[in-house]
Amino acid sequence: MCWDSCVFIRYLTQSPPDCVSDIDQYIQDVQANKRTVYFSSLVYTEIRPRFLRHRGILSIQDFFADLGATFTAIDPNPNILMMAGEMRDIDTANPSDPNTKGRVLGTPDSIHLATCLYLRDILGVSDVVFHTFDDGKGSNWEGRCVPLLSFQNWYPNSSRPQVIQDVCNLPRRPPLYPQPLLFPTAP
């Protein structure tokens, strides 16, 4: 598994509360060495100290030390960054009206996706699943970006370059634990 920053942020803030118990179960598995969760070290720029207050964590340094000891970080090396740039250079189409301009693939999103492809194709982790909640509802400094969960809808089938087809074939979904608790704990 490879986690988007929003999965960590959801767990820390517990807002909204859905999937928090699922994320907690994954974390327990990681701590028990039953699973490995990878993440782009870009997460270090996307998790802000204010997110830690909900968990009573006072130091961002302490949190990142725990994060690095529990999960496996992948730094955005030149190959990842070039792949991310290649993805961002490809025009999208608006799925509701292919004749109008689509959205841009966000810079952080392209790095997270390229990290997953690097993990799968170069590091040989064959069962990579990208966990995210990104469904394109918000906007950032780049405007409204391509949603990661419905990524494939923004690139016409007939003209997908290989790197886009690779992302379309990458399993992307929210972090729903395969065997949810019968009685989930309250956040």
Cα 78 from Cα 76, distance rounded (Å): 7
Residues 6+ apart with CB under 8 A from 28: none
What local confidence, expressed as pLDDT, does residue 162 receive? 94
What local confidence, expressed as pLDDT, does residue 178 receive? 87
What local confidence, expressed as pLDDT, does residue 6 receive? 94
Identify the CATH number of the domain in which residue 158 sits.
Answer: 3.40.50.1010
40: nearest Cα among 4, 83, 82: 4
Whether residue 183 lies inside any domain: the answer is no
Count of Cβ atoms closer than 10 Å to residue 10 Cβ:
22
Whether residue 129 lies inside any domain: the answer is yes
Whether residue 179 lies inside any domain: the answer is no
What local confidence, expressed as pLDDT, does residue 143 receive? 72
What local confidence, expressed as pLDDT, does residue 181 receive? 61
Q: What is the pTM of this model?
A: 0.89
Whether residue 58 lies inside any domain: the answer is yes
Cα 83 from Cα 62, distance rounded (Å): 32
Contact yes or no for 52/87 (Cβ under 8 A)? no
Ranges under pLDDT 70 in the chain: 140-141, 180-187
For the stretch 145-161, pLDDT in tens is: 899 999 999 988 777 89
Domain that holds residue 69: 2-173
Whether residue 187 lies inside any domain: the answer is no
Whether residue 145 lies inside any domain: the answer is yes
Whether residue 182 lies inside any domain: the answer is no
Total structural domains within the chain: 1
Whether residue 142 lies inside any domain: the answer is yes
